[in-house]
């Protein structure tokens, strides 16, 4: 009797794990940085390489770090949404131009509009590596203390902006 029950129990356990795994949203990749301080860095600004930016300049503010590049198709998809968010002036958006040529990044923003409060150039991708960037676009919600509260892999959409990002920003602003 036991030789029939044990394989059945193993089958049930494996079935539960398979069901749970197949039901997960593949766009949600847990980040080990969520809940931890945003990695420190100092990068030149895209439009003026003589000016530097460091995340510590944003302490006391809730802000978004949006990783993008001129060669990124999905970044072009999210661009109008970021433009609209920028016009609403709800939260500062810092753009991180990732593994891009400075002239290409500038041309993209000159042609499509610039939704960012400022843009920094991560030409070699070292800062992106520190942030665990899988690919672009990615967006981080960072609180007033410099703690990463959320990481979005993929483009900002009206839905994830409305359902996740903006409610989180509003809640963090109260703290």
- pTM for the full predicted model: 0.83
Partners of 64 in beta bridges? 93, 141
pLDDT tens track for 45-94:
999 999 999 999 999 999 999 999 999 999 999 999 999 999 999 999 99
Among the residue ranges 61-70, 104-113, 126-135, the one predicted with the least confidence is 126-135
Q: Where are the domains of the chain?
A: 29-174
N- to C-terminal Cα distance for the chain? 60
pLDDT at 29: 55
Average pLDDT on 122-145 reads 95
CATH topology of domain 29-174: Glutaredoxin (3.40.30)
Instruction: Please give the Cα distance from 72 to 98 (Å, whole number).
Output: 10
């Amino acid at each position: 009797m036991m030789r029939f029950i044990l394989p059945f129990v193993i089958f049930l356990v494996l079935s539960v794990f398979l069901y749970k795994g197949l039901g997960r949203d593949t766009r949600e990749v847990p980040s080990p940085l969520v809940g931890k301080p945003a990695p420190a860095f100092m990068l030149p600004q895209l439009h003026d390489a003589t000016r530097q930016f460091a995340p510590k300049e944003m302490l006391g503010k809730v802000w978004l770090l949006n990783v993008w590049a001129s060669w990124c198709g999905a970044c072009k998809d999210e661009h109008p949404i970021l433009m609209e968010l920028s016009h609403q002036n709800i939260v500062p958006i810092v753009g991180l131009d990732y593994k891009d040529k400075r002239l290409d990044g500038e041309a993209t923003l000159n042609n499509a509009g610039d939704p960012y409060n400022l843009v920094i150039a991560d030409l070699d991708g070292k800062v992106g590596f520190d942030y665990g960037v899988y690919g672009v676009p990615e967006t981080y919600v960072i609180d007033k203390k410099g703690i990463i509260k959320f990481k979005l892999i993929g483009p900002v959409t009206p839905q994830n902006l409305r359902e996740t990002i903006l409610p989180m920003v509003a809640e963090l602003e109260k703290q």
